[in-house]
Amino acid sequence: MAAAVTAQGVGVRAIDGKSEYFPTLSSRKLVADEESVNMFSLVYQDEFVSSQIKIPSDTLSLYPAFDIYYVYGFSSRTYVYFLTLQLDTQLTQMDAGGEKFFTSKIVRMCSNDTEFYSYVEFPLGCTKDGVEYRLVQAAYKQKPGRRLAQALGLTEDDDVLFVVFSQGQKNRSNPPRETVLCLFTLHDINLAMRERIRSCYRGEGRLSLPWLLNKELPCIHTTTLYTLTRQRCYNSAKITVVTPGTAHYVSDRPEDRRHVLALVTDGTETRNLSAKHTATVTMNKECMGERDVAGLTTTAQGGDTINGWFVGHAAVRFMVF
């Protein structure tokens, strides 16, 4: 069993001469033995990645007051969500004594993503009579009743999100009394996120994660053609290249027959390839945690791909939509 842990109001502190701080978001183990050393240890951790997100020290150096305030968390289908209130680094001056602006964002991750590759942020707010309400105060996820579902064009099994916002973007600790109650459908939120991801792959807009990347980076256009036909989580699938021209695919969804997008890094360049499962491909085993389980195997015939699969010497991660 695993649990998501959030933290706020925790600044940088020195431990054994090293700069350390508690991650703002992490996934922790809950084991049966409460005395176990693994209790609350990270679900996944290796030399390069782990199931946590930290606010970079560079961000805290520029904005000492930066923090992420987690207001509400919930799950829906294959995703987990967090409603957050963050310092808006685009509007706030770096001077610690200056006026501070905040913005509300909804964070989404795949529930089975132990390495946080699926982390997505999306701004959330309401406008009434031309006035913006951007300070999230409370929220609640619920199934719609019959009449509400009909009015929204949903089924009674879909999820809706009720959110209370305060006016403006200032005074987080003492927000204005003017508030509004807004309703969002998870379908519309996921649709907006999906379109945002697609537009970014078209090179439109920016990544909009300045606090995590220390700068606002533009989206990079790729020549890859792909179809996001389903709002599905992508697997943290691992590709292990055994010999030149052979790749083994490990998946926790053996029934998948969907389009995938492969992020390929060979040490010199990063590129995207589009691939599709074929009817002749079958999964014979499931991925069980971190065990080395053989999945499907394809062999190259003088090229990068065969039956839609990338093979070669590069490190590959498949993102399944």
pLDDT tens-digit map of 165-201? 999 888 787 788 899 999 999 999 999 998 888 888 7
Query: For residue 91, is it within any domain?
Result: yes
Strands across the sheet containing 2-6: 2-6, 25-29, 52-53
Lowest mean pLDDT among 150-164, 221-235, 237-251, 278-292: 278-292
| 137/196 same-domain check | yes
Mean pLDDT computed over every residue of the chain: 69
Structural domain for 257, as ranges:
237-320
Q: What is the pLDDT of residue 7?
A: 65
pLDDT above 60 (res 130): yes
pLDDT above 60 (res 282): no
| 181/70 same-domain check | yes
Average pLDDT over residues 134-157: 96
pLDDT above 50 (res 84): yes
Which is more confident, 10 or 106?
106
| 204/242 same-domain check | no
Query: For residue 117, is it within any domain?
Result: yes
Strands 246-250, 296-299: parallel, antiparallel or unpaired by DSSP? antiparallel
pLDDT band at residue 21 using 50, 70 and 90 as cut-offs: low
Q: φ, ψ for residue 246 (rounded to 5)? A: -130, 135
pLDDT above 50 (res 274): no
Report long-range pairs for 179-183 (Cβ below 8 Å, ≥24 apart). Answer: 179/133, 179/137, 180/126, 180/128, 180/133, 182/126, 182/133
| 79/196 same-domain check | yes
Q: What is the pLDDT of residue 129?
A: 92
Query: For residue 33, is it within any domain?
Result: no
| 209/241 same-domain check | no
Average pLDDT over residues 291-307: 30
Average pLDDT over residues 305-310: 30
- Report the alpha-carbon distance of residue 12 to residue 64 in Å, rounded: 9
pLDDT above 90 (res 107): yes
| 209/263 same-domain check | no
pLDDT above 50 (res 273): no
Lowest mean pLDDT among 90-104, 207-221, 272-286: 272-286
- Please check whether residue 18 is in contact with residue 7, taking contact to mean a CB–CB distance below 8 angstroms: no
pLDDT above 60 (res 101): yes
| 85/156 same-domain check | yes
Query: For residue 177, is it within any domain?
Result: yes
Lowest mean pLDDT among 49-58, 78-87, 122-131: 49-58
pLDDT above 90 (res 74): yes
As for how many domains the chain has, the answer is 2
| 191/120 same-domain check | yes
- Please check whether residue 164 is in contact with residue 176, taking contact to mean a CB–CB distance below 8 angstroms: no
CATH number reported for the structural domain that contains residue 204 in this entry:
2.130.10.10
Q: What is the pLDDT of residue 287?
A: 22
DSSP 124-156: --EEETTEEEEEEEEEEEE---HHHHHHHT--T
| 170/94 same-domain check | yes
| 189/62 same-domain check | yes
pLDDT above 50 (res 15): no
Query: For residue 172, is it within any domain?
Result: yes
pLDDT band at residue 222 using 50, 70 and 90 as cut-offs: low
Query: For residue 16, is it within any domain?
Result: no
| 60/187 same-domain check | yes
| 128/268 same-domain check | no
| Residues 25-57: tens digit of each pLDDT | 999 888 888 888 888 888 888 877 888 888 888
Q: What is the pLDDT of residue 96?
A: 61
- Report the alpha-carbon distance of residue 305 to residue 310 in Å, rounded: 5
Query: For residue 298, is it within any domain?
Result: yes
pLDDT above 80 (res 289): no
Query: For residue 124, is it within any domain?
Result: yes
Beta strands in 251-306 (DSSP E): 259-265, 270-276, 296-299, 305-306
Q: What is the pLDDT of residue 48?
A: 78
| Residues 231-241: tens digit of each pLDDT | 345 443 333 33
Average pLDDT over residues 249-270: 34
